[in-house]
Each structure stands twice: as structure tokens, then as C-alpha cells.
Structure 1
Amino acid sequence: MRSNRDMKKLILALFFILSAGFVFAEVTVTIDGQRYFCSVDGRPPQDREWRCVPHCTRRSFDGDCMRYGQDYCGYDATCIKRCERRDTSGDCMRYGDDICRSEQ
């Protein structure tokens, strides 16, 4: 028969093992088979990163960039085409500067 001391050690060990499993489930995420530790806001670190993206300041009629300005930088920075004028079918006839945004 086991002593009370051995039982307490066993219960404590089981508690730590089970607790560790729950903690790791909350602070990691698996994407495409790769396991990542989450950032403070709960998202994988590669989903919230400081980066710089090209900022197009002039586009041709078909949307190709003809002139780039200064890169736009920020957390999860992104720039998208901005249409200034559309025809009756909804196709863009004239593009303006890209709309750029980032998270705070």
C-alpha cells in the first residue's frame, strides 16, 4: 500500500502534467503542420509583423503600376488599388493612389 506522501506526489505530478497540456494548447497554434507560439493578442507572430510594402502612386488604365512612391510601412501593412472612376458596367476607367493601411 502506498503512503499518503506518495499519493500526494502522484496527484501533484498528474496536476502539473495536465495543466501543462492545457497551457500549451492556449499559447500555440498549428498552421500547415508548423507549430507557432502566439503573441500577446493571441495571433501567430507571423500574422502580425512589421513590414514595408510598395506604394503605387500612378497606375495605367488597366491597373499596372507605372510609378512607385515611398514604401508604406507598419504592422500588417498592405496597399490596394483605388479606383477613381468607373464605367457603367463597373469596370475601372481611372486609378488613383493606392490605399494603404496598417494595424495600430
Structure 2
Amino acid sequence: MKLNFKTIIDSEVPVLIDFYADWCGPCKALAPILKQVKDEMGDAIKIIKIDVDKNQSTASKFQVRGVPTLILFKKGEQLWRQSGVLQKNDLINVVKSHS
């Protein structure tokens, strides 16, 4: 079942969207970091990966110019965004500061 993007970001739980591309080296470096964040935070966060090459309309809607770009949503509102690779503890702190 494919969820509608708006339904996903309208969540009460913070949703971290990772806009990435398969050809992007930093995106590959970010993937295990996001897994560690999810493992540590569990149900306190949802992490969704969006391939910008396959979802160009969504990427352009959020003006994603470079990858990786991370955007944090809660209840449909964009709370934070940053491009580039962040370390696990930095990401966890960002999510907690917006929870």
C-alpha cells in the first residue's frame, strides 16, 4: 500500500525525510547513520527515504537542490531541514529538540 505523502508528514510522530539518489556518495554514507538513529529512537521517529530521481515532483515541491537533503516534519509542518551528512547524535538532538 502506497501512502500519500501528505498522510505521512501529517503524523503526530516526527517524520524525517531523506531525499537521496543512488549515485550519491554522501547519501550512501548517510544510510547506516539513519538506521542507527531509527534503532536508537524506535517509534519516536519515522524515517522515510525518497529517491529524487524517481520522485522529481516531490523533490521540486520541497526545493531539494542537492542530495542528501533531510527535512523533518511533524503534523504536516516543516520544522527543520539541512543538506549533507549529519552524525547520529546530531540528528537525534535535532529530532528531540523539535519533538
Choose 1 or 2 for highest CA Rg.
Answer: 1
Q: Which one scores higher on RCO, CA 8 angstroms, separation ≥ 6?
A: 2
Task: With the length of structure 2 as denominator, give the TM-score of the two structures.
Answer: 0.21
> Which one has the bigger strand percentage?
1
Task: With the length of structure 1 as denominator, give the TM-score of the two structures.
Answer: 0.20
